[in-house]
Amino acid sequence: MQIEVWPKQAEFLDYAINRPLRHVVHVGGFGSGKTHAAAIATWLLALGRPRSRGIVAAGTYRQMKDTMLDAFDSIGEEHHLDRHISRWSKSDMTLTLRNGTEILFRSMEAMRRILSINASWYWADQAESLTAEQFRALDTRVRKGTKGIGLLTANSAYGKWFETFYSKLGRPDDLPLAPLNAFGQLQLGPKKSTGLIMRSSTLDNYSNPPEYAANLIEQYGGEESPYTRRLIYGEDIPFGGVIYSMFRPAVHVVEPFPIPDSWEKWGALDFGYEHPFVYLLFAEDPQDGMIYVVAEYRKRRTLLAEHARAMRRIESQYPYRVGNALQELSRFCDHDAQDRNELLAAGLGMQNAVKDVREGILTVIRALSIRANGQPGVKIFSTCTQLLQEIREYRWDEKARGETPYKGPTGQGDDGVICDDTMDAFRYGLHSRIAGANMRVVVDLDLGRKPFGAGYHAR
């Protein structure tokens, strides 16, 4: 029995199943099919290693359940592999096969749950989102010198530790002449790594609709954009230069106009004292979903009570009513407990913002990108002068290889030098709202309808 897969997926399965490697890392563009291939590999490892134990792990429980477990279940159901299941315990998220293999589905949010476990293999999806500590805790569950293997699938938006880790791995070109070490593992490259990294592109998954990659490329600024080259083509290049390079005043800036009371409104704020305290007010047109930034407030060295009064003044100019009932606005804020609670005491409801920087920046990029109707997803009133100044100059920190935005020293911003406080509030307001509504780029994997067995071949 065979399953048909695309060539890059077959390449990954070859490394994961047939090669004596300690780590196999698959870095791919959005929708490249790497999660699908890794879910197939997980079934093959579980069925091919009787009485073994494997761990399927993700940074968060939701990611593990909604992405990894869903892909694993779908493949099992579509290809009748669920007949091999002996027991499924939802209470401790452990699946036992008839051959005695155990598969533990775990969130690294509860890292302590795996610290006493010995495993033969594991799969970590979106490995770039793990911390170095979480990765070490997972990786050391497979004992050194055994024939165990760790499979890692990742997007190309990763942090420092992951870059350091994969830089030591071998490449596919190293395989033909690779010798074995004393433990029977392949040694790749001049550093004699026992792990391998491969890369794939969104275009390598031919089951994607023809417009899928084209739409992503357009969203991320065209073929030569560093976002396209990294997140679509999976290339190892740094983000660099101005972050929101797709911002165009002629497209994204509008003169103020009366905002209907019926439009939903919400705020976002970044706390500060030496750095400025920033508040932005957003409104959404229910007809076309266009989001407008309609007002900004920014001030340094001021007590929270005065900030609260200023926010109330702004919100009174842009009331939000459902029928005749005045609605309290949602306000997404930084996570500083004291500042948050003082504003709560002043009668201003607060919600913790979704603060993930890289994911938040990608949300803003998608909102700024031109849609099929020729319009972006967000526009800014011309009166928001500080926001319009910072968005033009907000850039990646070149010393950090472009992995994080540049942060100016405390106190900058009043003398014409740009800092990032308004950009943080802008990101909070868009990402917390959009991510909270699950309006994210979704990888739609084609699981196919082909018979499944222990083998595979490239389509």
How many other C-beta atoms are found inside a 10 Å radius of the C-beta of residue 303? 10
The residues, ordered by sequence, that sit 6+ positions from 388 with a Cβ below 8 Å of its Cβ are: 249, 253, 380, 382
The predicted pLDDT at position 362 comes to 82
Residue 337 has pLDDT above 70, yes or no: yes
Residue 355 has pLDDT above 90, yes or no: no
Confidence band of 396 (pLDDT split at 50, 70, 90): confident
Considering only residues 243 and 251, tell me which one the structure prediction assigns the higher pLDDT: 251
The residues, ordered by sequence, that sit 6+ positions from 233 with a Cβ below 8 Å of its Cβ are: 29, 201, 202, 203
Which range among 53-57, 134-138, 142-146, 326-330 shows the weakest confidence by mean pLDDT?
142-146
Residue 453 has pLDDT above 70, yes or no: no
Average pLDDT over residues 256-271: 96
The predicted pLDDT at position 159 comes to 62
Which range among 16-30, 98-112, 234-248, 429-443 shows the weakest confidence by mean pLDDT?
429-443
Which range among 61-70, 214-223, 294-303 shows the weakest confidence by mean pLDDT?
214-223
Average pLDDT over residues 331-338: 91
Residue 111 near residue 140, CB atoms below 8 Å: no
Nearest alpha-carbon partner for 288 in 381, 379, 215:
379
Residue 68 near residue 59, CB atoms below 8 Å: no
Confidence band of 200 (pLDDT split at 50, 70, 90): very high
Confidence band of 444 (pLDDT split at 50, 70, 90): very low
Residue 432 near residue 268, CB atoms below 8 Å: yes
Query: Average per-residue pLDDT in the chain?
Result: 86
- Rounded to whole angstroms, how far apart are CA atoms 254 and 430? 18
The predicted pLDDT at position 390 comes to 92
The predicted pLDDT at position 404 comes to 72
Average pLDDT over residues 428-457: 48
Residue 14 has pLDDT above 50, yes or no: yes
Residue 12 has pLDDT above 60, yes or no: yes
Average pLDDT over residues 161-169: 88
Structural domain boundaries of the chain?
Answer: 2-208, 249-436
Provide the CATH number for the domain formed by 2-208 in this structure. 3.40.50.300
Backbone region of residue 330 per phi and psi (left: phi > 0; alpha: psi in -120 to 50; beta: other values): beta
The predicted model scores a pTM of 0.66
Average pLDDT over residues 231-242: 79
Confidence band of 296 (pLDDT split at 50, 70, 90): very high
> Tokens 């073929």 — which residue?
223
Average pLDDT over residues 136-146: 87
Residue 332 has pLDDT above 50, yes or no: yes
Residue 372 has pLDDT above 90, yes or no: no
Residue 133 has pLDDT above 80, yes or no: yes
Share of the chain above pLDDT 90, in %: 56
249-436: CATH topology is Nucleotidyltransferase; domain 5 (3.30.420)
> Rounded to the nearest 5 degrees, what angle is found at the Cα of 384, between the Cα atoms of 260 and 261?
10
Using CA atoms of 14, 17, 18, 19 in order, give the dihedral in degrees to the nearest 10: 90
